[in-house]
Structure 1
């Protein structure tokens, strides 16, 4: 049996028990009221008869007479006639008048006149009124007994007993029972309707799941939310967050997510739009409109996938899965840097092999002096250029390697990359990952811009260190930045001008967050776009430089 059906039956049982108890109580109260009304009426009639002056005088004379009256003398007497008239007017079962010996002077059955009453009359002779249910010669009745007092001395000299038959007392009981039964039936029907409504409401709220299924569901939810490495955030149809695991709170930087509206979260606009499941505009880059776009959130690069949730054609809201891809993006940047350096080494190896082939050819031809002269020229050129790209302006090994690698890549695209004459780096790079990410990204953007600009294209890099701070500037000969206000936008590339070069993807927002995390900044010094000059980007990265390396013993000071 389903849980909702069990609940409905249990509610019906409870309602039925309550209705039965209430019905019993109401019937008992009604019966007691009818009994009390009958007793009150009997007492009032008995008091009225006992206070009649004729009754008092007649009973006083009879009590003073030592003899016992006969039945014949009492039949048709004044007291019998008075009692019969009172019975007819009040509907009482009987009105009995006795003297101090309990002799009946009035009774509904004439043959009992002159006989002693069948019930106790001592209380009345003691001057006390009594009300009770007793059985006598006429059967059970609600009766009241009142003393008849001597008109001269006020001493009790007899009693008046008035009784009502149960049939007359409870003649209104069927109507009372019918009303109570009708109220009970209405209460039961109302209880059944309410129980049915509660059952349907419970089934809608629990989606038809049983308690054991809900328990398993909670266990599975806890296991999934705490077991996955991704952030999970669920929101209802009204946009209020209902479930959020610790990873989601950490990635979004908000601890109290549950109960808050997604639209009210203090997050970048694209992140809020992604969490709310807003449809994306058609992509210009060939990706589907439903494909997740990378978003920069604080110092994290995240992908947000949303999925609508429904059951039985009922919209339950959205589930957003937040995947942290910061480590992967950083690793890709490092791999690209390593690949660039590898390409540069490959070019240098190829060039070195060519020189060896030339030297070997000259020597095989017996032209040793020419071979010697060729080698002297190669050495002289190496001394003059000292790395061709870095020249004498840059000696820090890591920066030289990175710039040489990027210069080789730029050269393959027809762009000349050079280090500015004002460059001066005396320290040693202590945070190569952050420096490589920022410098490589700015250089790659500059090379892409230079390819789109007037040819021949060029990119110039200048690097200066001041204590532990590295300041770098990257300029290019590209067309410049068309929208300087949005160049650092963290809106995905498909939301921007497809012809833009700077600011596409997550590169600039990511390096901006890296610089901010280090306590520095990245800014657009010149948007360019005039006189054949492109954009100029500057970056200040504190804490990435260390003191100069001490020269080894024996080297020049």
Structure 2
């Protein structure tokens, strides 16, 4: 059975890694200090002992005293040297190792004990450990010569071995305390560093970050909008596949990453967004012959603008999508009105059935069928396009539901079109004009809408006339602006769509001067009929 591998969090991992590095460095430092720094105090004392011994050996009083056998002067001098230099002992011997001085005066005249003075008796300096009357010591041996260059004795300077060890141990613990303080500071720094890193990445774990990046990449590459991001120097730092495709369509095929956006797309003006910190919405920008609809926004971190991002899409695609949506809404509205009218008739039939009024029911159904057949017959005779005919039947139901009469002129005629897209645009034109007339006649006494189609030599004239309050002269140019409406918020799309569809069909839209009351819109468009209807 396999054990699941334990995964540590980022903070724990960073802390352990930094602490591990700090401990490794401290161990290396301890090894270096152990070999170099910790022994230094002992070595310094040894060098001190040798230096004192050399100095004493050069004093004439010592060589003269050894030559004359005068130990009193030597004892007095060496006692002062011992006290002033804080050493264990200074012993002067002759060539027979007989002491001429010693901290314990009772030992003067007796042979030196501890040994290892043979090398010094041969005229060479030496250093050794030994055991004497005063305990274990470190001893420096220096030969003494008289004025003629003949060796007459030795100077032996001793240091307490226990004291040297105590100084070395003290130095060792000082080093250890410093290293432990470094370890504590290193661990604290590791914890602070781990917390800082964690805060910088919004308290997320590496696995969460990698997942987020994968999701971000998938989202950027799958979106239908082109996306380009720039840094604070306006250089491209991110671009998705759709943006690359649109740039290729515009003839820009070179590598754009890390390039100034002004060299790639001057009209985008992202430098202005970076400078002002304000975004730009729904810009129509031309790029080498194609029109793109772009939205630019600044990227802010802690209140500072660090870059900008732009999303854009081919305006042609957006226009086609809007047209589909507007057409679907028109069809759906017509179907809803027809279904509502049909349900009302079913309720009447159900009520008369329950009441047993079968004769009246038969008369009602006959009248309804006759009216419906008359409507269908009239529309199919005058409107040869089945899509427009079905649409107008739905609008008849809608206007009847609203208590309004939708009248088609007796000489109204619409031949079938060879291009279905033209009928779609006509439905947008007629549907929105009728809807505006319905809204305008809510409070009108004479609720009548007149619809006229006239075809003549490749042109179709469509007229929608109502008997509402009409349109104020001051508003006659504003009514075609997208979003402008006198009916409240989230309105002002109908006449904008009408004018756009008319322009798409290379036509002309007019609002005729008012005749007493109401509004009359006339749209003239190019219209090619099917060959079998010419």
| TM-score interval, smaller chain | 0.5 to 0.7
* Whole-Å separation in 1 of the counterparts to 2:136 and 2:80: 22
Q: Is the 8 A contact 1:95 1:160 kept in 2?
A: yes
Aligned to 1:55: 62
Q: Aligned to 1:169, which of 164, 168, 178?
A: 164
* Whole-Å separation in 1 of the counterparts to 2:507 and 2:159: 108
Q: Are positions 1:148 and 2:129 aligned together? A: no
Q: Is the 8 A contact 1:94 1:108 kept in 2?
A: yes
Structure 1 residues 6 and 513: alpha-carbon distance in aligned structure 2, compared to 1, 3 A threshold: farther
Q: Aligned to 1:504, which of 468, 475, 491?
A: 491
Q: Deviation of residue 417 (structure 1)?
A: 5.0
Alignment root-mean-square deviation, CA = 6.4
Q: Deviation of residue 352 (structure 1)?
A: 10
Aligned to 2:74: 79
User: What residue ranges of structure 1 are gaps of 5+ in the alignment?
Assistant: 63-72, 226-242, 273-296, 302-323, 358-377
Aligned to 2:223: 250
Aligned to 1:119: 116
Q: Deviation of residue 42 (structure 1)?
A: 1.4
Count of matched residue positions in the alignment of Structure 1 and Structure 2: 426
**Structure richer in helix, relative to its length:** 2
Aligned to 2:517: 532
After superposition, residues 286-301 of structure 1 pair within 5 angstroms as none
* Whole-Å separation in 2 of the counterparts to 1:356 and 1:456: 21
Q: Is the 8 A contact 2:63 2:144 kept in 1?
A: yes
Q: What TM-score results when the alignment is normalised by the length of structure 2?
A: 0.54
Q: Are positions 1:90 and 2:85 aligned together? A: yes
Q: Deviation of residue 49 (structure 1)?
A: 0.9
Aligned to 1:46: 53
Q: Are positions 1:458 and 2:423 aligned together? A: no
Q: Is the 8 A contact 1:481 1:528 kept in 2?
A: no
After superposition, residues 130-529 of structure 1 pair within 5 angstroms as 132=127, 134-137=129-132, 140-153=136-149, 159-169=154-164, 215=207, 246=219, 250=223, 254=227, 256=229, 266-267=280-281, 331-336=328-333, 354=370, 387=378, 398-399=387-388, 402-403=391-392, 406=395, 409-410=398-399, 413-418=403-408, 428-431=418-421, 434-435=424-425, 438-439=428-429, 441-452=431-442, 454=444, 455-460=446-451, 476-479=466-469, 489=482, 499-500=487-488, 504=491, 511=497
Structure 1 residues 215 and 38: alpha-carbon distance in aligned structure 2, compared to 1, 3 A threshold: same
* Whole-Å separation in 1 of the counterparts to 2:58 and 2:167: 30
User: What residue ranges of structure 2 are gaps of 5+ in the alignment?
Assistant: 1-5, 231-236, 239-272, 284-293, 296-313, 346-364
> What secondary structure, in the 3-state scheme, does the structure 2 residue paired with 1:163 have?
strand
Structure 1 residues 354 and 87: alpha-carbon distance in aligned structure 2, compared to 1, 3 A threshold: closer
Aligned to 1:550: 531
* Whole-Å separation in 1 of the counterparts to 2:24 and 2:511: 84
Deviation string for 1:318-365 (max 9, x for gaps)?
xxxxxx999887645444456779999999x988963999xxxxxxxx
Q: Deviation of residue 38 (structure 1)?
A: 0.8
Structure 1 residues 328 and 55: alpha-carbon distance in aligned structure 2, compared to 1, 3 A threshold: same
Q: Aligned to 1:33, which of 40, 48, 52?
A: 40
* Whole-Å separation in 1 of the counterparts to 2:161 and 2:113: 24
Structure 1 residues 488 and 43: alpha-carbon distance in aligned structure 2, compared to 1, 3 A threshold: farther
Q: Is the 8 A contact 1:45 1:162 kept in 2?
A: yes
> What secondary structure, in the 3-state scheme, does the structure 2 residue paired with 1:96 have?
strand
* Whole-Å separation in 2 of the counterparts to 1:477 and 1:188: 92
Q: Is the 8 A contact 2:388 2:427 kept in 1?
A: no
Q: Deviation of residue 526 (structure 1)?
A: 5.1
Q: What TM-score results when the alignment is normalised by the length of structure 1?
A: 0.52
Deviation string for 1:101-136 (max 9, x for gaps)?
766554445267445871255378566x55x55335
Structure 1 residues 50 and 199: alpha-carbon distance in aligned structure 2, compared to 1, 3 A threshold: same
Structure 1 residues 38 and 440: alpha-carbon distance in aligned structure 2, compared to 1, 3 A threshold: farther
Q: Is the 8 A contact 1:344 1:404 kept in 2?
A: no
Structure 1 residues 33 and 17: alpha-carbon distance in aligned structure 2, compared to 1, 3 A threshold: same
Q: Is the 8 A contact 2:480 2:499 kept in 1?
A: no
